[in-house]
Amino acid sequence: MEYFLQQLINGLTLGSVYGLIAIGYTMVYGIIGMINFAHGDIFMVGAFVALISFILFALTAISLPIVLILVLLISMVFTACYGWTVEKLAYKPLRKSFRLAPLISALGMSIVLQNYVQAAQGARIKTLQPVIQGGFNFFKESEFVVTLSYLQIFIVLVTIFLMAIFTLLITRTALGRAQRACEQDRTMTALMGINVDRTISMTFIIGSSLASVAGMMFVMYYGVIDFYIGFLAGIKAFTAAVLGGIGSIPGAMLGGLLIGLIETFWSGYISIEYKDIAAFSTLVIVLIFFPTGFLGKPDIEKV
Partner 1 sequence: MDKNFLQSSLKDSLFTGLIALALFGPIVGLRTVAVNEALVVQPKWLVVALIVAFCAIGRFFINIYSFKKEQRRGEPSSLGKAISNFLDTKGSQIALGAIIFSVIFPFMPFADRYWMDIAIMMMTYIMLGWGLNIVIGLAGLLDLGYVAFYAVGAYSYALFAIHFGWSFWICLPLAGLFAGMFGILLGFPVLRLRGDYLAIVTLAFGEMIRILLLNWYTLTKGPDGLTGIPRPSFFGLPFKRYPDEGVETFHTFFGLEYSPMQRIIFLYYLILVLALITNFFTIKIRRLPVGRAWEALREDEIACKSLGVNPRNTKLTAFAVGAMFGGFAGSFFATRQAFISPESFTFIESAIIVAIVVLGGMGSQTGVVLSTIFLIGLIEVFRDFESYRMVAFGGAMVLIMIFRPKGILAKRKPTITMVKEK
Among 206, 210, 242, 254, binds partner 1 (CB under 8 A): 242
CA gap 19, 102 in Å, rounded: 24
Of positions 22, 155, 237, 283, contacts partner 1 by CB under 8 A: 283
- Beta strand 224-225 with 126-127 is antiparallel
Q: Taking a C-beta distance cutoff of 8 angstroms, is the pair 128, 57 a contact?
A: no
Who's near 13: CB < 8 A, 6+ residues apart?
Answer: 152, 155, 156, 221, 260
| Using rule CB under 8 A, residue 238 touches partner 1 | yes
Task: Report if residue 292 touches partner 1, rule: CB under 8 A.
Answer: no
Q: Does 156 bind partner 1 (CB under 8 A)?
A: no
Question: Which position among 26, 110, 152, 212 is part of the footprint of partner 1 (CB under 8 A)?
Answer: 110
CB of 196 closer than 8 Å to CB of 190: yes
Among 8, 118, 139, 156, interactor with partner 1 by CB under 8 A: 118
Q: How many residues bind partner 1 (CB under 8 A)?
A: 70
Name the segment binding partner 1 (CB under 8 A); options: 124-132, 133-141, 156-164, 180-188. 124-132
Write down the least CB distance from residue 263 to partner 1, Å: 13
Q: Which residue from 20, 21, 27, 49 is in contact with partner 1, where contact means CB under 8 A? A: 49
Which alpha helices (H) appear in the chain, and where do they start and end?
2-32, 39-58, 64-86, 100-121, 150-172, 174-184, 186-191, 196-222, 229-244, 249-265, 275-289
* Contact flag: residue 188 with partner 1 (CB under 8 A): no
> How far apart are CB 206 and partner 1 at their closest, in Å?
17
Reported residue count of the chain is 303
| By the rule CB under 8 A, 205 interacts with partner 1 | no
Told to check if 47 binds partner 1 by CB under 8 A, we report no
Our CA angle for 100, 289, 270, nearest 5°, is 100
Of residues 27 and 194, the one with the C-beta less far from partner 1: 27
As a whole number of angstroms, the distance between CA 217 and CA 13 comes to 9
- Taking every pair of C-alpha atoms in the chain, what is the biggest distance, in angstroms? 67
Please report whether residue 276 would count as binding partner 1 according to CB under 8 A. yes
Site string for partner 1, 216-235 (x = CB under 8 A): ---------------x---x
DSSP 265-293: HIIIII-STTHHHHHHHHHHHHHHH-TTT
**Cβ of residue 187: shortest distance to partner 1, in angstroms?**
19
Q: By CB under 8 A, name the one of 61, 65, 129, 141 that touches partner 1.
A: 129
At residue 159, the 3 state secondary structure works out as helix
Q: Which of 5, 67, 70, 101 binds partner 1 (CB under 8 A)?
A: 101
Chain centroid offset of residue 133 CA: 24
Residues forming the site for partner 1 (CB under 8 A): 34-35, 45, 48-49, 51-53, 55-56, 77-78, 81-82, 84-85, 89-90, 93-94, 97-105, 107-124, 126-129, 231, 235, 238-239, 242, 273-274, 276-277, 280-281, 283-284, 287-288, 291, 299, 301, 303
